[in-house]
Amino acid sequence: MMPDEEEHWAKLLAEILLSPKIGVAHVKLVGDLISVTSQVDMAAQRRHPGFPLDEIVEYDEMLSPLEDAYQAAWRAVDAAPDRARRAPELQRLSSALAAAVEGIADYAGQRGLVVELYRFGGSEE
């Protein structure tokens, strides 16, 4: 991930976290996303054997559609004029955030990287 993209990623997640439009489940999913992304980023920076430099490009390509999905979902939540119209968009946001968490964790696992999933968004949702 390029520095400008990281800044945008962090800014968007902060915007989601600070919004009164979301619920606890969304906060938990954002926590999961920050956690797994940070763990994979640290492994890439340390040049973990399962994550050589040439795979960073592949990682970015895998991550891009996942990021696009939760960004689009967030824009729809933010643009919804009332609670009734926001409800289905909040579900879409939950699904997109969960897909990003799972996608990153799966990608890491395929490369032998051990990422700890805290499952902030676990069964108590």
- Boundaries of domain holding 93: 23-110
| Inside any domain, residue 85 | yes
* 7 inside domain: no
**Position 121 in a domain:** no
Would residue 100 count as lying in a domain? Answer: yes
In-domain check, residue 83 = yes
Residue 122 lies in a domain: no
pLDDT > 70: percent of the chain:
86
Sequence-distant (6+) residues with CB within 8 A of 35 are 115, 116, 117, 118, 120
Distance CA 91, CA 2 (A): 29
Q: Is the pTM value of this prediction over 0.95? A: no
Q: What is the chain's mean pLDDT, rounded?
A: 85
pLDDT at 82 over 80: yes
Instruction: State residue 118's pLDDT score.
Output: 74
- What's the pLDDT tens digit per position in 1-53? 444 555 577 899 999 999 999 999 999 999 999 999 998 888 877 876 767 77
Tell me if 68 is assigned to some domain. yes
- Number of structural domains (the chain) is 1
Predicted pLDDT at 6: 53
Q: Burial, 20: exposed, middle or buried (Cβ in 10 Å; 0-12, 13-18, 19+)?
A: exposed
| Domain contains 43 | yes
**Would the pLDDT of 113 be above 50?**
yes
